[in-house]
Structure 1
Amino acid sequence: MAVIGELIKRAIDVYGLLTSDPDPATAQREVLQQLLTKAKLTAFGKKHTFGKILDSADPVQAFQQEVPVHDYDTLYKNWWHYLLEGHQNVTWPGGQNYFALSSGTTSHSKYIPVTDDMLDAIRRSGIQQVMSLKNFDLPSDFFTKQIMMLGSSVSLIEKDDHQEGEISGISAANLPAWFRGFYKPGVEIASIQDWDERVHRIAQEAPTWDIGSLSGIPSWIEMMLKEVIAYNKLDTIHDIWPNLQVYTSGGVAFEPYRKSFEKLLARPLTYIDTYLTSEGYLATQKRPDTTSMALIVDNGIFFEFVPFTEENMDEEGRVKPAAKVLSLQDAEENVDYVLLISTVSGAWRYMIGDTVMLTDKTRAEIKITGRTKHFLNVVGEQLPVHQMNKAMETMQRQFDMEIKEFVVAAIRKNGEYINKWVIGSDKAVNNEQFAAALDAELCENNKNYKVARTKSLQGVEAAVIPVEKFYRWSEEYKKLGGQTKIPRVMKEEDFLEFEGFVATVAG
Structure 2
Amino acid sequence: MAILGSIIKAAIDLRGAIVSENSPTESQTEVLKKLLETAKDTAFGKYYGFAKILEAEDIQKIFAEKVPYFDYHEMETEWWSKTQEGLEDITWPGCPKYFARSSGTTGKTSKKIPVTDDMIEAIRTSGIKQVGALTNFDIASEFYDKEIMMLGSSTNLEAQNQFLEGEISGISASNIPFWFRGFYKPGEEIALMEDWDEKVETICKRAKDWDIGALSGIPSWMELMMKKVMEYHGAKNIHEVWPNLKVYTTGGVAFQPYEKSFNQLLAHPIIVIDTYLASEGFLAFQNRPDTTSMKLVTDNGIYFEFVPFKPEYINEDGSLSQDAPALTLAEVETDTDYVLIISTVSGAWRYLIGDTIAFTDVEKAEIKITGRTKFFLNVVGSQLSVNKMEVALREMEDKFDIKIPEFTLAAVKINDEFHHHWYLGTETDINSEEIAQALDEALKEANKNYEVARSKALKGVKVTTVSTEVFQEWNAKNKKKGGQVKMEKVMGEEKFADWEAFVKAETSK
Q: TM-score, normalised by structure 2?
A: 0.98
Q: Name the aligned partner's letter for residue 468 of structure 2.
A: V
Residue pairs, 1:242-391, within 5 angstroms: 242-391=243-392
| Displacement after TM superposition at 1:426 (Å) | 0.6
d(CA) in 1 for partners of 2:394 and 2:61? Answer: 41
| Displacement after TM superposition at 1:251 (Å) | 2.1
Match of 1:40 in 2: 40
Q: Name the aligned partner's letter for residue 215 of structure 1.
A: S
Match of 1:61 in 2: 61
Residue pairs, 1:209-220, within 5 angstroms: 209-220=210-221
Residue pairs, 1:2-151, within 5 angstroms: 2-108=2-108, 109-151=110-152
Deviations 1:380-423 (A, max 9, x none): 11000011111111111222211120001011222221111111
Q: Which consecutive aligned stretches of 4+ in structure 1 deviate over 4 angstroms post-superposition?
A: none
d(CA) in 2 for partners of 1:417 and 1:15? Answer: 57
Deviations 1:57-98 (A, max 9, x none): 111111111100111111111101111111111000000111
Give the paired residue count.
507
Match of 1:484 in 2: 485
Deviations 1:162-189 (A, max 9, x none): 0111000110011111111111111111
- Tell me the secondary structure at the aligned position of residue 128 of structure 1: helix
- Tell me the secondary structure at the aligned position of residue 370 of structure 1: strand
- Tell me the secondary structure at the aligned position of residue 477 of structure 2: helix
d(CA) in 1 for partners of 2:10 and 2:236? Answer: 35
d(CA) in 2 for partners of 1:140 and 1:115? Answer: 35
- Tell me the secondary structure at the aligned position of residue 403 of structure 1: coil
- Tell me the secondary structure at the aligned position of residue 491 of structure 2: coil
Contact between 1:305 and 1:337, CA under 8 Å: does it hold in 2? yes
- Tell me the secondary structure at the aligned position of residue 459 of structure 2: strand
| Displacement after TM superposition at 1:478 (Å) | 2.0
- Tell me the secondary structure at the aligned position of residue 143 of structure 2: helix
Using the TM superposition, name which of 428-437 and 351-360 deviates more.
428-437
Match of 1:413 in 2: 414
Residue pairs, 1:101-250, within 5 angstroms: 101-108=101-108, 109-250=110-251
Deviations 1:241-266 (A, max 9, x none): 11100000112221221111111111
| Displacement after TM superposition at 1:43 (Å) | 0.2
Q: Name the aligned partner's letter for residue 462 of structure 2.
A: E
| Displacement after TM superposition at 1:236 (Å) | 1.3
d(CA) in 2 for partners of 1:201 and 1:372? Answer: 38
Q: Unpaired runs of 5+ in structure 1? A: none
Contact between 1:216 and 1:482, CA under 8 Å: does it hold in 2? no
d(CA) in 1 for partners of 2:446 and 2:306? Answer: 25
d(CA) in 2 for partners of 1:164 and 1:324? Answer: 35
d(CA) in 2 for partners of 1:112 and 1:475? Answer: 21
Deviations 1:31-75 (A, max 9, x none): 000000000000000000000001111111111111001111111
- Tell me the secondary structure at the aligned position of residue 371 of structure 2: strand
Contact between 1:428 and 1:465, CA under 8 Å: does it hold in 2? no
| Displacement after TM superposition at 1:318 (Å) | 1.6
d(CA) in 2 for partners of 1:337 and 1:309? Answer: 8
Work out the percentage of aligned pairs sharing the same amino acid.
54
Using the TM superposition, name which of 16-25 and 120-129 deviates more.
16-25
| Displacement after TM superposition at 1:339 (Å) | 0.3
Using the TM superposition, name which of 250-259 and 461-470 deviates more.
250-259
Q: Name the aligned partner's letter for residue 218 of structure 2.
A: I
Deviations 1:272-296 (A, max 9, x none): 0000000000001010000000000
| Displacement after TM superposition at 1:311 (Å) | 2.1
| Displacement after TM superposition at 1:470 (Å) | 1.1
- Tell me the secondary structure at the aligned position of residue 405 of structure 2: strand
Contact between 1:103 and 1:166, CA under 8 Å: does it hold in 2? no
Match of 2:430 in 1: 429
d(CA) in 2 for partners of 1:259 and 1:118? Answer: 35
| Displacement after TM superposition at 1:310 (Å) | 1.6
Match of 1:504 in 2: 505
Deviations 1:228-247 (A, max 9, x none): 00001112111121110000
| Displacement after TM superposition at 1:485 (Å) | 2.3
Using the TM superposition, name which of 14-23 and 444-453 deviates more.
14-23
Contact between 2:258 and 2:405, CA under 8 Å: does it hold in 1? yes
Q: Name the aligned partner's letter for residue 79 of structure 2.
A: W
d(CA) in 1 for partners of 2:142 and 2:103? Answer: 36
| Displacement after TM superposition at 1:20 (Å) | 2.5
d(CA) in 2 for partners of 1:490 and 1:243? Answer: 41
* RMSD value, Cα: 1.0
d(CA) in 1 for partners of 2:161 and 2:64? Answer: 36
d(CA) in 2 for partners of 1:159 and 1:313? Answer: 35
d(CA) in 1 for partners of 2:186 and 2:360? Answer: 35
d(CA) in 2 for partners of 1:18 and 1:130? Answer: 15
Q: Name the aligned partner's letter for residue 268 of structure 2.
A: R
| Displacement after TM superposition at 1:22 (Å) | 2.2
Contact between 2:122 and 2:300, CA under 8 Å: does it hold in 1? yes
d(CA) in 2 for partners of 1:263 and 1:312? Answer: 41
Q: TM-score, normalised by structure 1?
A: 0.99
d(CA) in 1 for partners of 2:152 and 2:252? Answer: 12
Contact between 2:340 and 2:357, CA under 8 Å: does it hold in 1? yes
Contact between 1:355 and 1:370, CA under 8 Å: does it hold in 2? yes
| Displacement after TM superposition at 1:29 (Å) | 0.4
Q: Unpaired runs of 5+ in structure 2? A: none
Contact between 1:285 and 1:291, CA under 8 Å: does it hold in 2? yes
d(CA) in 2 for partners of 1:46 and 1:166? Answer: 31
- Tell me the secondary structure at the aligned position of residue 328 of structure 1: coil
Q: Name the aligned partner's letter for residue 365 of structure 1.
A: E
| Displacement after TM superposition at 1:104 (Å) | 2.0
- Tell me the secondary structure at the aligned position of residue 125 of structure 2: helix
Q: Name the aligned partner's letter for residue 239 of structure 2.
A: H
Deviations 1:131-174 (A, max 9, x none): 00000000001111111111111111111100111000110011
Deviations 1:185-209 (A, max 9, x none): 1111111111111111111110111
d(CA) in 2 for partners of 1:373 and 1:21? Answer: 35
| Displacement after TM superposition at 1:107 (Å) | 3.5
d(CA) in 2 for partners of 1:424 and 1:68? Answer: 40
| Displacement after TM superposition at 1:482 (Å) | 2.4
Deviations 1:4-35 (A, max 9, x none): 11111111111111012320111000000000
